[in-house]
Structure 1
């Protein structure tokens, strides 16, 4: 996107990045005698740190579920052994020992499940009380950012539409190396723009889709097949974050990002065309410069030669050498060569001037046609993005009102 900074302008993109990155302020880190780490407070948490904490608890839950499954299999194996011993009338001592092992394993399994319940509760707490509010905040800031972007793109569209009235037919401007270099730089910047825009859309779709995919798995209860029906408490199937992430995920797929990207790619092709005609103009200019240097060199050489031989009596013919007639012919020949080169230079200058005018007119014509298309597509996209995040923001507000 084009970045435009004005006096008093709020850089919403910087605010968004603060939400989703690890950057945190170190103000107030030293609390004197209290000895507390301010990072323990929710105030310092970012979306990234919250997700990282959930990941740590999810890893802990994975280890607990894995250990619980191993414990369950061991418990089932011991129960099967006890049943076989009963069937074969094993000694009382043997039965008591096996019963004690079964009881011990069952107790350990119950304790493990209770620990697992605590982990599940912590994950739910992080999900509903830290992750969800920060996603709401992110959506709110994204809405403000895209509102700001839409305002700038709309203003840029108004500006480029004024190009229609621009007339440079009388301007005598040729493409300079400096101008050509900056056109190439703009083309390279647009290349990066295409890459960054593609990454922006791809990464945010992947991110929200991944969060939504995780949430659907998070809502599946962990159950046991033991007869005692030891199980984790049922999880809330419709937490506010579910509808929010589902809507966010669906809205992202409907954004007209392909149209915006196509407009940027088309603008890149426009710049490539302008660079092509500028190349032709600069090549013609170099041909003119080469001919100009050759003409200047030969003109000086002729002047030097003519001055050197001007003192000679060119009309008195030497019977032995014929110097006078030969000299006159030489002057005519050399002068004709210089004049021919001057005529060639004049033709090349005229060709260069015509080409310069064509390049200016063609470049302006292309920009008049394609810049409005570019900024109209960007304005439509930024407006659609603002509308999407506004709906998400409104949805969250309605959910909060419904819960109160």
Structure 2
């Protein structure tokens, strides 16, 4: 569903951006014309998100290695400086002092080279973050907005359908016996699968957003001194790059969605279905016992059976209606959240463009 929500008609200028996506280019060489259209249709205009994340990880790893190497050099430099001071204090020979001094100078040069490398890698990461990752996240937000608008229409249609189906039911067309048991079992299986899939999808999405937001927080140099009155970092207050605003708002918005309420309603509906199936099994067993004993059903049994069927349908309808209503509310909240994130991200982009220093 997410992939389908990211469909768009690509213009001539946007097609040229596929050169930024080596995965799509390689795939187009290996498939037919129709397959090529399919691959291109599902590529992001801003380039391959996977490729960007992989390259960011590679550069982050290189940055980590450089910082670690610089730290080792700094420790050795401090040790040699102490040794040089000790040699001066003990009035060692000039030959010994000169040798140690040469080592100190060499270590100092290596540290300067390492720091320049760290700065260069950091700037490269920042450039990828702002010029590749941010447009991809904006595009993803736009796709999610379209997806949840479509999902809202679907869930509303489902709600209308189940309401009309319930009110137009007829007792003569109600399935009985094993047929009803199979229908309930299939409904239970489908709802259970949907509940698990939704939980897995939502948890994965929340983890993905939180991971990117947490990574961005590591890009911020926090002051060492702690102050009780110091306010927490706010990307808007310090006019940070707009990706900080987008990911912060997205992370907060994801946590505010009524996912727990939806999952609870699904679990409650599943519990009702299991109870109905157990009740149905007990009734079937009781019916078999009565049939064996009397070879006929007592008077009024048909009316009692119809009452049970009507009660069961009413219970299923109430539970399913509640789930669909919750899905509607979740979809509405998602649409509102993504539109809000998109709007505030654009405002942050405009503000940052006006306030950022020249040449940045």
Normalising TM by the smaller chain, what interval? Answer: 0.7 to 0.9
Q: Does the CA contact (< 8 Å) of 2:246 and 2:344 recur in 1?
A: yes
After TM superposition, list the pairs within 5 Å mapping 1:70-219 onto structure 2: 70-163=72-165, 165-169=167-171, 171=172, 173-219=174-220
SS at match of 1:219: coil
| Unaligned ranges ≥5, structure 2 | 8-21, 31-43, 225-237, 355-360
Partner of 2:296: 346
2:345 alignment partner, one of 365, 371, 396: 396
Partner of 1:303: none
How many Å apart are 1:24 and its aligned residue?
A: 4.8
1:59 maps to 2:8: no
Relative distance call for 1:178 and 1:203 in structure 2 (3 A) is: same
Partner of 1:319: none
**In structure 1, distance between residues paired with 2:79 and 2:174:** 91
Q: Does the CA contact (< 8 Å) of 1:160 and 1:368 recur in 2?
A: yes
| Unaligned ranges ≥5, structure 1 | 1-10, 31-41, 224-235, 292-340
Relative distance call for 1:167 and 1:155 in structure 2 (3 A) is: closer
1:368 maps to 2:304: no
How many Å apart are 1:242 and its aligned residue?
A: 0.8
SS at match of 1:347: coil
RMSD: 3.1
SS at match of 2:91: coil
How many Å apart are 1:147 and its aligned residue?
A: 0.7
Cα-to-partner distance string for 1:217-256 (whole Å, 9 max, x where unaligned): 1222899xxxxxxxxxxxx981111111111111112111
**In structure 1, distance between residues paired with 2:115 and 2:343:** 39
Q: Does the CA contact (< 8 Å) of 1:12 and 1:144 recur in 2?
A: no
After TM superposition, list the pairs within 5 Å mapping 1:245-256 onto structure 2: 245-256=247-258
**In structure 2, distance between residues paired with 1:172 and 1:187:** 21
Partner of 1:308: none
Cα-to-partner distance string for 1:85-107 (whole Å, 9 max, x where unaligned): 22222222222211111111111
Q: Does the CA contact (< 8 Å) of 1:168 and 1:361 recur in 2?
A: no
Cα-to-partner distance string for 1:313-368 (whole Å, 9 max, x where unaligned): xxxxxxxxxxxxxxxxxxxxxxxxxxxx8xx22226x6764454233211221133
How many Å apart are 1:274 and its aligned residue?
A: 2.7
Q: Does the CA contact (< 8 Å) of 2:46 and 2:139 recur in 1?
A: no
Higher mean C-alpha displacement, 62-71 vs 265-274: 265-274
**In structure 2, distance between residues paired with 1:45 and 1:172:** 54
Q: Does the CA contact (< 8 Å) of 1:16 and 1:138 recur in 2?
A: yes
Q: Does the CA contact (< 8 Å) of 2:59 and 2:125 recur in 1?
A: yes
**In structure 2, distance between residues paired with 1:252 and 1:385:** 8
Q: Does the CA contact (< 8 Å) of 2:195 and 2:263 recur in 1?
A: yes
Cα-to-partner distance string for 1:253-301 (whole Å, 9 max, x where unaligned): 211112211221122122223323332343355457x74xxxxxxxxxx
Q: Does the CA contact (< 8 Å) of 1:79 and 1:102 recur in 2?
A: yes
Following TM superposition, the consecutive aligned residue runs of length 4 or more in structure 1 with deviations greater than 6 angstroms are none
**In structure 1, distance between residues paired with 2:5 and 2:141:** 12
Partner of 2:14: none
SS at match of 2:297: helix
Cα-to-partner distance string for 1:161-218 (whole Å, 9 max, x where unaligned): 325533534x274523233123112212222222222222222222212211111112
* Higher normalized contact order (CA 8 Å, seq sep 6+, divided by chain length): 1
SS at match of 1:346: coil
Relative distance call for 1:220 and 1:166 in structure 2 (3 A) is: same
Question: How many residues end up aligned between the 2 structures?
Answer: 314
SS at match of 1:218: coil
Give the alignment's TM-score, normalised by structure 2.
0.77
Partner of 1:36: none
**In structure 1, distance between residues paired with 2:29 and 2:79:** 54
